[in-house]
Structure 1
């Protein structure tokens, strides 16, 4: 008979997510996961599978979290929602905030050569979520060529998030975000 778990799955997955987010898949060691979660690697792997499967679970959790946040943001009128996304880069965060690590999915793109098809599919679904959100918002405002413009916005967003990852500071995205906000206002 299996013993009941002595840890909270949500807390452990959140801690693992933050660790992968800050360090990336390759750089995250099993020791780092143990320290972050407070659970021995044997317990983690018994509960979630190996490091790769734990990462898949973390990416799915991240997707679900962002999906819920986007539903709230994109409940606003079209361009207002888009503006809110890019204005968020200017909001101050404490120096140790996870926002200074960029975006877990975008960061994962930097490692795509070394990842499996499951991760590639998760990243593609995440990208499609953003594109659909942008395209729907633009279409609600009657803006022409919404799909092409949404593709542009996804590229701009991912570029801004890449700047954050490279600089280790959310403020690195502000100049790009301001140009995007100005551009969207002209549509």
Structure 2
């Protein structure tokens, strides 16, 4: 008979997510996951599968959290929704905050050649959700060239998030975000 789990799966997933987010899939070792979660590798893998399966679960969890953050944007006027996304880069974060690690999905793009098709599909779905969010905002604002401008906004967003990953500091995205905000105001 299997022993009952003696850990909070939600808390373990959150700890694993933070570890992958800070270090990436490749650099995250099973030892790092054990230390971060407080659960032995056997317990982790018996519950969530191998490292790849755990990563898939973490990406799904991250995407669900971002979807929840995107939902209120649908209630804002289009220009305000776009501005809110890029204004968020200016918010102060304390040293060591996860915001200084960028975006888990965008960071995963840096490792795509070393990941599997499931991860590629998860990243593509995440990107599509952002594009759809921007397209809806542009449509609500009666701004033309919706597809082109939504692609521009996704590219700018991912570029800003990539800057954070490269610099290890959320402030690295502010110049790009300010240019995007100014550009969007002219549409």
Q: The TM-score by the shorter chain falls in which range? A: over 0.9
Q: Which residue of 1 aligns with 2:132?
A: 132
Structure 1 vs Structure 2 CA RMSD: 0.6
- The CA deviation at 1:75 is 2.0
1:45-79 Cα distance to aligned partner (Å, 9 max, x none): 00000000000000000010000100023321111
Q: Does 2:103 match 1:111? A: no
5 Å-filtered alignment, 1:5-24, equals 5-24=5-24
Corresponding residue number in structure 1 for 2:87: 87
C-alpha separation between the residues in 1 aligned to 2:65 and 2:105? 12
Instruction: After TM superposition, give the deviation of residue 145 of structure 1 in Å.
Output: 1.0
Instruction: Tell me the residue number matched to 1:158.
Output: 158
Q: TM-score, normalised by structure 2?
A: 0.99
The alignment partner of 1:3 has SS state of coil
Aligned to 1:77: 77
Mean CA deviation greater in 74-83 or 50-59:
74-83
Q: Secondary structure in 2 aligned to 1:17?
A: helix
Alpha-carbon distance between aligned partners in 2 of 1:184 and 1:155, rounded to the nearest angstrom: 14
What is the distance in 2 between the residues matched to 1:155 and 1:107?
14
Aligned to 2:148: 148
Unaligned runs of at least 5 residues, structure 1: none
**Shift of residue 109 of structure 1?**
0.2
Give the secondary-structure state (helix, strand or coil) at the position aligned to 1:142.
coil
Q: Secondary structure in 2 aligned to 1:74?
A: helix
Question: Following superposition, which runs of at least 4 residues in structure 1 exceed 3 angstroms of deviation?
Answer: none
